[in-house]
Structure 1
């Protein structure tokens, strides 16, 4: 069980595949939302070397001494994803709770993948629970990692 609490992965959050514009997201609105919720956030706009699109790199403290580093790519209204890197399921759940409840317009509009699943060739995203607290989200993220063989 200790492995589950220390295992680190990358997670990607995105809108539903059948409604990619569901978030009505932009780098500016995401940046503003992060700045409002996390006043000490590190926020920097860059250009992705992979896709040559503008991205927002960020580092936020989602709970005391729990930091999340990530990148948001939202260059057009029908394309958005947020990647967080090298996080535990606990830290990812805290970020996912904020994303679901404070940024996206509908709590049922978030899906996610982990690097463990993608490394195993499975690119089928899981839905983020539309309700529940960070503990319930963490349980889903841990089930996801376990299903991917990351136990």
Structure 2
């Protein structure tokens, strides 16, 4: 019997390793996309102290009563990642679907990794499904978490 994983973890989404500039992302374009999709978003541009790069901290409601907060680091066209913090697979999947379908230029251009899996010794990112709804993405995220057991 499969075990459901409702644990909370941090998830990181990034472009494909073989094409880190695939998103052609910037803090400004990400901010604009969040503002359009989530008019009530909390958005704050800061400077990451460890790397001295611009980051966008955000908090959004991805579905009624489902909130996601995170940080986007996109200091150069060839470097980008978005972290969502302390989320369930369900909330991460809702965010990932928006990211894949509304921000990145190619739905095949997103990979992810969770802090739970990294803490268990696996630092290999998984590809986000290029198609499917949030339920299908959630199933992949749950499989990712289960692989760490």
Distance 1:121 1:144 in 2: 13
Distance 2:4 2:107 in 1: 29
Name 1:53's counterpart in structure 2. 53
Measured after TM superposition, the shift of residue 121 of structure 1 is 2.3
Aligned-CA RMSD value: 1.0
Deviations 1:62-111, CA, capped at 9 Å, x for gaps: 00010000000000000000000000000000000000000000000000
Measured after TM superposition, the shift of residue 143 of structure 1 is 0.2
Deviations 1:3-60, CA, capped at 9 Å, x for gaps: 52x3101000000000000001000000000000000000000011221111000000
Specify the SS of the correspondent of 1:51: coil
Structure 1 window deviating more from structure 2 (36-45 vs 111-120): it is 111-120
Distance 1:108 1:22 in 2: 10
Name 1:69's counterpart in structure 2. 69
In the alignment, structure 1 residue 14 sits paired with structure 2 residue 14 = yes
Distance 1:104 1:25 in 2: 8
Q: Structure 2: any 5+ residue segments left out of the alignment?
A: none
Runs of 4+ aligned residues of structure 1 deviating over 6 Å after TM superposition are none
Question: So what's the TM-score if we normalise by structure 2?
Answer: 0.97
Specify the SS of the correspondent of 2:113: strand
Distance 1:3 1:93 in 2: 15
In the alignment, structure 1 residue 81 sits paired with structure 2 residue 98 = no
